[in-house]
């Protein structure tokens, strides 16, 4: 199986494709582009808040705030990559199917919580820094805050089943090994599949962070 690059960005479509493969399903294209569906997801209060953020005057916040930068984000991301690729927390290769699936579920849920907490914290800190740069960047920070409130619950609902899907995949691979009398031969392909899925999820969760980091670069400052 081809090794995925740990540092290269993974397109968002990679995650649903990987999940469809391990579940034995055919990946379906989205019925609409996210921008087209955004109107369906906005309730009145958030629609008004988004309109104000887009159209209203954006004041630069002179208060002291976070100095988080691209290097900080890269360090946090690398720590999460190390947590995903490390052997600690995963079941032993000779674990029984029930114990292995339960361990996979717990570990993947823990990794998800770590990804969600880290990206949410970085996103807020980057917005604080953007709000101190220029009126245009302050407006971008305000828009991102509204969009996070709209999209984060949907992101959580869509990504929450990933640990259970990986646990079920673990069980299927173990049953297949049992039928072919291959002792613990399930473990290596399972770990590679789990690694690819979780790294793709990490890249998906980091997309807003990466966009905010890009907005802090000197070339993005409005004239």
Kindly list the domain boundaries of the chain, sorted by start residue. Answer: 64-217
Angstrom distance (rounded) from CA 111 to CA 30: 27
CA atoms 94, 96, 98, 103: torsion sign: negative
Angstrom distance (rounded) from CA 117 to CA 7: 20
Selection from 16-25, 118-127, 128-137, 172-181 with the highest mean pLDDT: 118-127
pLDDT confidence of residue 81: 97
pLDDT confidence of residue 111: 97
**Average pLDDT estimate for 198-206:** 96
Burial of 205 (0-12, 13-18, 19+ CB in 10 A): buried
Instruction: Decide if pLDDT at 78 tops 60.
Output: yes
Reported confidence tier of residue 42, pLDDT bands at 50, 70, 90: low
Mapped onto helix, strand or coil, the DSSP state of residue 181 is: coil
Instruction: Decide if pLDDT at 61 tops 70.
Output: no
Angstrom distance (rounded) from CA 158 to CA 155: 5
Reported confidence tier of residue 71, pLDDT bands at 50, 70, 90: very high
Selection from 12-21, 56-65, 153-162 with the highest mean pLDDT: 153-162
Please check whether residue 137 is in contact with residue 131, taking contact to mean a CB–CB distance below 8 angstroms: yes
Angstrom distance (rounded) from CA 142 to CA 195: 34
Mapped onto helix, strand or coil, the DSSP state of residue 203 is: helix
Instruction: Decide if pLDDT at 180 tops 60.
Output: no
CA atoms within 13 A on the CB side of 33: 2
**Average pLDDT estimate for 17-43:** 70
Closest residue by Cα to residue 148 from 137, 140, 136: 140
Q: What percent of the chain has pLDDT over 90?
A: 43
pTM, two decimals, is 0.81
Q: Name, in order, each residue with C-beta under 8 angstroms of 195's C-beta and a sequence gap of 6 or more.
A: 4, 84, 85
């Amino acid at each position: 199986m081809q090794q995925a690059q740990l540092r290269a960005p993974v397109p968002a479509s990679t995650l649903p494709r990987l999940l469809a493969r391990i579940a034995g399903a055919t990946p379906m294209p989205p019925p609409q582009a996210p921008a087209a569906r955004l109107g369906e997801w906005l309730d009145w209060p958030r629609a008004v808040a988004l309109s104000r953020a887009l159209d209203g005057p954006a004041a630069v916040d002179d208060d002291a705030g976070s100095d988080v930068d691209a290097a900080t984000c890269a360090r946090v991301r690398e720590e999460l990559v190390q947590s995903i690729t490390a052997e600690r927390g995963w079941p032993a290769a000779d674990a029984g199917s029930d114990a292995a699936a339960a361990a996979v579920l717990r570990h993947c849920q823990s990794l998800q919580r770590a990804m969600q907490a880290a990206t949410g914290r970085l996103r807020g800190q980057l917005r604080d820094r953007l709000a101190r740069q220029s009126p245009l960047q302050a407006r971008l920070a305000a828009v991102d805050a509204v969009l996070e409130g709209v999209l984060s619950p949907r992101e959580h609902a869509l990504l929450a089943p990933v640990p259970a899907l990986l646990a079920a995949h673990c069980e299927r691979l173990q049953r297949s090994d049992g039928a072919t009398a291959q002792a613990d031969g399930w473990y290596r392909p399972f770990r590679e599949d789990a690694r690819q899925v979780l790294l793709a999820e990490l890249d998906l969760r980091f997309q807003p962070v990466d966009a905010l980091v890009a907005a802090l670069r000197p070339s993005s400052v409005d004239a």
